[in-house]
Amino acid sequence: MPTTTSPTSELTLTHGPDGTVVVRLAGSWKLESGLPSLVDLERELDSADGARVAFDTSDLGTWDSSVLAFLAGASKLARERGIEVDPTGLPEGLRRLLALAEAVPEKEGVRAEKEDDDEFVERVGEVAIETERLFRSDLEFLGQVVLAFGRALRGKARFRRSDLALLIQQSGFDALPIVTLVTFLLGLILAFVGAIQLQTFGATIYVADLVGVAMVRDMGALITGIIMAGRSGAAFAAQLGSMKVTQEIDALETMAISSMEFLVLPRVLALFLMMPFLTLYGDAMGILGGAFVGVTMLGLSLTEYLLQTADAVSMSHLVGGVFKGTVYGVLIALAGCLQGVQSGKSSSAVGDAATSAVVTGIVAIIGACGLFAFVFYALGI
Amino acid sequence: MEASLAGGTPVPAITVRDLTMAYGDFVLQRHLDFTIGSGDIFVIMGGSGCGKSTLLRHLIGLNEPRKGEIFYGTESFTAADEERRTEMLRRIGVLYQSGALWSSMTLAENVSLPLGEFTSLQPDEIREVAELKLALVGLAGFEDYYPSDISGGMQKRAGLARAMALDPEILFFDEPGAGLDPISARLLDDLILELRDSLGATIVIVTHELASIFAIATNSIFLDAESRTMIATGLPTELRDHSPSDQVRRFLRRGES
């Protein structure tokens, strides 16, 4: 018999005397070259009646887990058919690894059962139950926030003033650059869109009306809200979510310090206090963006443009816009904190919480915006 | 404390009656009945995944029992309303597995927060007490460090300082030795013993570290994951030598029955 080992793996099955299936493994077995198929062996075992399986590894070169995986599969096939496996032909190392792999039998009921995807009714039911549960916990969260606000109004809520100050800085002042950029460009875009239409009538001055009213009434608050949802809403969810992972929220609860008051309240307050200013600031930047187009492209003077804007925008527009912005701020903070508090306890769960915070925040803002449009129209504002 | 005032039989610190713990449909442990004596160092032990930490969470009110009741002294914790529960929680301190220090605050602020919330101390007095508590756990000078700036062992000790902030009657530890080197773990054990002796606190520990179980425990229960209930209670050294249950003896002898 040749003693040199071939570079590739070889697998031959021979029928020995007394019906023994001899599995001959030769050559070099590497995981890189794939796992050998068990089909031949299975066929061989099925045809052999009540015999045993033995191994011949005299020509086996280097080997790794690929052999082991094959042997584990083979031994399982044999066991299922009640065929005895004789491991004496295997090298010492393989024999011990195989014994180790089979030492602890699979625990019953540990493997997750495959969900039956076909049961449509079942799935609908599950979704309904889950939705109801989520709705309940959302309501519960809202109720707790209202209670915490009640205590805050009576001066009884416990949170650190320095936390509120820091949150105000982070979600207010630190947001100014991005709010500047986005609202200025939005004003600019509105002005361009308007100018194309109004130029045909030679009424370019009304660009100031268009930009001013659009920004102050709706767009300023809406765009600032969307920026804040992406910035602060996500940040709140991630902060509270990771505090849940590290048990910091548990530590607060067992200290009898309500996480609603200590964590949620200052965040809602911070956005409640900052959104009016950010909205006003965004309005102003949008109008400046419009003015930039008016002065540089449409040949209007800055004074002319600003006077026209002041004429077009009424106080009720301004107050309405700031009111909307404030409501959006509260919605964003609530969405962020809700997702954070309900976050699971893994790193991916925190990521999911941040994602849902942004999505819920934006949906809530747009929903509220639509509602406001109806109500304000009905009220004639 | 209550025990000496009552005069007769000492009132246990905690009594658990027929407790069933479950997540959804999955029952983790049932029929748990035990008492934790005042001044005991009580160890909750058992293999991984048997519900040790969950039991601790039930004892401190983070999870609600599916069935059964938990008493602090003679008063039911399970049936207490939120306000009463808040008062009861002020008498306990918890050291979490990972320390669970509030990461946005310095060590001194971590210890100061409960002091500021529940005492009428002035800010400079609070600072003084916080420094003292940190000194007790060997962290003098680290007051203004943030939790992320110090090692895991130091975080645990800082967590202990915070748990002791309000001089609790009962201290809970969730796997205090996990992730510590043998010497730090030993030092933590010594600290726990010292605290029990000097403060007279009752101590409840979840752990499976045998060295520390034998070194400090005065009483224990053993939770079994297979039968989903407690299968032994008593002094761990006693259980190691004389427990009728093969499983308990094997656990306490690292697999040799």
Interface of A with B in 327-366 (CB under 8 A): none
B102 shares contact with chain A (CB less than 8 Å): yes
> Which residue among A246, A254, A257 sits closest to B98, beta carbon to beta carbon?
A246
> Which residue among B86, B90, B96 sits closest to A247, beta carbon to beta carbon?
B96
- Dihedral pair phi/psi, residue B91, rounded to 5°: -90, 0
Minimum CA–CA partner of B163 in chain A: A255
Q: Which residue has the higher pLDDT, A44 or A161?
A: A161
Interface of A with B in 217-256 (CB under 8 A): 243, 246-248, 250-256
> Which residue among B61, B62, B100 sits closest to A246, beta carbon to beta carbon?
B100
Which chain A residues are closer than 8 Å to B85 by Cβ? 256
Which chain A residues are closer than 8 Å to B90 by Cβ? 256
- Dihedral pair phi/psi, residue B72, rounded to 5°: -100, 115
Which chain B residues are closer than 8 Å to A160 by Cβ? 113
Asked if the Cβ–Cβ distance from A256 to B86 is below 8 Å, we say yes
- Whether the per-residue pLDDT at A163 is higher than 80: the answer is yes
**What is the tens place of the pLDDT at every residue in B2-16?**
444 444 567 889 999
In order, the DSSP letters of A363-377 are HHHHHHHHHHHHHHH
A110 shares contact with chain B (CB less than 8 Å): no
Cα end-to-end distance, chain A, whole Å: 100
Distance CA B138, CA B156 (A): 11
By DSSP bridging, strand A84-86 and strand B14-23 are unpaired
- Whether the per-residue pLDDT at B207 is higher than 60: the answer is yes
Distance CA A233, CA A170 (A): 12
Which chain A residues are closer than 8 Å to B94 by Cβ? 250-251, 254
The tokens for B51 are: 């519900």
Asked if the Cβ–Cβ distance from B89 to A254 is below 8 Å, we say yes
Asked if the Cβ–Cβ distance from B94 to A251 is below 8 Å, we say yes
With both helix axes pointing from N to C terminus, report the angle between B123-136 and B152-163 in degrees, rounded to the nearest 10: 130
pTM: 0.79
CB B223 within 8 A of CB B53: no
- Whether the per-residue pLDDT at B174 is higher than 70: the answer is yes
**What is the tens place of the pLDDT at every residue in A286-315?**
999 999 999 999 889 999 999 999 999 999
Asked if the Cβ–Cβ distance from B103 to A246 is below 8 Å, we say yes
By DSSP bridging, strand B170-174 and strand A52-56 are unpaired
Which chain A residues are closer than 8 Å to B102 by Cβ? 243, 248, 251-252
CATH of range A3-101; options 3.40.50.1980, 3.30.750.24, 3.40.50.300, 3.40.50.720: 3.30.750.24
CB B135 within 8 A of CB B154: no
Interface test with A, best of B58, B64, B72, B89 (most A CBs within 10 A): B89
Per-residue pLDDT at A115 = 58
**What is the tens place of the pLDDT at every residue in A25-55?**
888 888 887 777 888 888 877 776 667 888 8
User: In the Cβ-directed half-sphere of B36, how many Cα atoms lie within 13 Å?
Assistant: 28
Q: What is the mean pLDDT of chain A?
A: 88
ipTM field: 0.82
Question: C-alpha dihedral over A60, A64, A67, A69, to 10 degrees?
Answer: 170
Which chain A residues are closer than 8 Å to B89 by Cβ? 254-256
Which residue, B252, B250, B217, B219, is CA-closest to B234? B219
Minimum CA–CA partner of B95 in chain A: A251
In this prediction, residue A81 has a pLDDT band, given cuts at 50, 70 and 90, of: confident
**What is the tens place of the pLDDT at every residue in B107-116?**
999 999 988 8
What would the mean pLDDT of B128-151 be, rounded to a whole number?
A: 90
| H or E stretch covering A53 | strand A52-56
CATH 3.30.750.24 maps onto chain A at 3-101
A257 shares contact with chain B (CB less than 8 Å): yes
B96 shares contact with chain A (CB less than 8 Å): yes
B251 shares contact with chain A (CB less than 8 Å): no
Per-residue pLDDT at A116 = 59
**How many Cβ pairs closer than 8 A exist between chain A and B?**
49
> Which residue among A248, A253, A255 sits closest to B114, beta carbon to beta carbon?
A255
In this prediction, residue B229 has a pLDDT band, given cuts at 50, 70 and 90, of: confident
CB atoms inside a 10 Å sphere around CB B23: 11
Which chain B residues are closer than 8 Å to A257 by Cβ? 113-114, 117
B42 shares contact with chain A (CB less than 8 Å): no
| H or E stretch covering A327 | helix A315-341
B101 shares contact with chain A (CB less than 8 Å): yes
Report residue B55 CA to chain centroid gap: 11
